[in-house]
Amino acid sequence: MMPILRLAFASLANRRTTALLTIAAISLGVTLLLGVERIRTEAREGFANTVSGVDLIVGARGGSMQLLLYSVFRIGNATSEMSWAVYEKIASDPKVAWSIPLALGDSHKGFRVLGTSEDYFRHFRHGRKRKLKFDAGTAFSDVFDAVLGADVAAKLAYKVGDTFTITHGIGDAASAEHRDKPFRVSGILTKTGTPVDNTIHVGLDGIEAIHIDWRGGARVPGLRITADEVRSMKLKPSTVTAVLIGLKSRRAAFKMLRQLNGYAREPLTAVLPGVVLHELWRAVGTAERLLSTVTFFVVLTSLLGMAAMLLAGIEGRRREMAILRSVGAGPGHVFALLLLEAWALTLSGILCGMALLYAALAIGRPIVEALIGMHISMDLPGHSELGLIGLVLVAGLLAGTVPGLIAFRRSLVDGMTVRF
């Protein structure tokens, strides 16, 4: 087989323009395939890690998907709230390491306002256990301090020290402005690629303060408490919308889950975020699977292009085949020659494609990270990627079989003499 291998390389080098174009087509397909696979994996992982390190999410009784959507993705509303007393009870459970209360229901220019505590910035993790970082400013130091997600600050062009007012309600249901109690931007978070980027964070006391003279979604007539007056008051929330819980030991998660779902004093719903996130991904991940299917067809197209190139070459190479037959090559050698050429082209395409992928990753990674907060790894190909590469190699060999068989038959008929 060695002479055939040498001949395959020499013959391809002789037709280097078409060979290089074919390799370019295959390598672009491979880059696309592996790139999409990598981004897909990262997207899935990033999605699964929208909240990482949170063991349980608890809210008032309702659907688990709904709970996940409003507590993590800021989509939809809670139908009811849980009482502060219950929150305190859960937070003081010996199995609980930390807890983050969340109070939702207000907005500002379409961005959700999330009332929470300092613990949010201390314990919340996203991606691979990454902490929230501040691009500018600090966490809350006053009742009316707000910390903006990266996208909020960018889209509204707010800087630390700017002030704004919060609207009561969300979206279409948004009603009056809490005009009398403006908030000041105390900090801006670094881009995370999660819903945190689209959230305005304020203290629970801030949420309480703007609603202190409100009842049932409307201002209490005649009651007017100014911002300065409110600062001196003891602000204790009466409800929270949801709680993120970190446990001391993850092994306690199922026990805690049962305990909370069967809570006697108030109807609660508790979920393991990973499980519900996985369910949600199954529902929204169709596009991602579709994308990888499309890229696989791109690779197949480039391999068909290679088959066409080899096929078109056969006619012009009948003389070459006849010479090979005259020096003792059998039709099997001719078949092997074509197959090895296909294999060499495919392999070169894969290697160039991978080089291209890593070059693109090296250049594009910081840009993607800054733009959408997605962290793409530069790791060596994993199992699924190696599997794809293997699949491309097999497909390349199969694509080479057709021209190989045709050359086999042709050289059988032609022998040493080319008849036209």
Partner 1 sequence: MIALENLRYRWNPEEPVVLEIDEFSIDDGERVFVEGPSGCGKTTLLNVLSGIAAVDMGLVTVRGQNLTAMAASERDAFRADNVGVIFQMFNLLPYLSMIENVALPCRFSGPRKQRATRAAVSIEAEAKRLVGRMGLSAETSRPVSRLSVGQQQRVAAARALIGAPELVVADEPTSALDGDARNAFIDLLLEECRESGATLVFVSHDTGLANQFDRGVSLPEINRAL
Could you list the residues that contact partner 1 (CB under 8 A)? 2-3, 6-7, 10-11, 13-14, 319-320, 322-333, 412, 415-417
Q: What would the two tokens of residue 162 be?
A: 């700017």
Our CB check for partner 1 shows the closer of 9 and 134 to be 9
Our CB check for partner 1 shows the closer of 6 and 231 to be 6
The minimum distance between CB 18 and partner 1, in angstroms, equals 14
The minimum distance between CB 365 and partner 1, in angstroms, equals 41
The minimum distance between CB 326 and partner 1, in angstroms, equals 4
Our CB check for partner 1 shows the closer of 332 and 364 to be 332
Burial 232-247 (b: 16+ CB within 10 A, else e): eeebebebbbbbbbbb
Our CB check for partner 1 shows the closer of 14 and 165 to be 14
Burial 57-77 (b: 16+ CB within 10 A, else e): bbbbebebebbbbbbbbbeee
Our CB check for partner 1 shows the closer of 246 and 331 to be 331
Type of residue numbered 47? F
**350, 389 in Cβ contact below 8 A?**
yes
Our CB check for partner 1 shows the closer of 5 and 374 to be 5
Our CB check for partner 1 shows the closer of 360 and 413 to be 413
**166, 108 in Cβ contact below 8 A?**
yes
The minimum distance between CB 346 and partner 1, in angstroms, equals 20
The minimum distance between CB 2 and partner 1, in angstroms, equals 8
The minimum distance between CB 5 and partner 1, in angstroms, equals 11
Residue 381 is given by DSSP the state P
**Distance of alpha carbon 166 from alpha carbon 195, whole angstroms:** 19
The minimum distance between CB 6 and partner 1, in angstroms, equals 8
Q: Which of 318, 332, 317 minimizes the C-alpha distance to 3? A: 332
Burial 130-159 (b: 16+ CB within 10 A, else e): bebeeeebebbeebbbbbbbbbbbeebebe
Q: Which of 265, 414, 373 minimizes the C-alpha distance to 49? A: 373
**122, 147 in Cβ contact below 8 A?**
no
CB-neighbour burial class of residue 168 (10 A; exposed 0-12, middle 13-18, buried 19+): buried
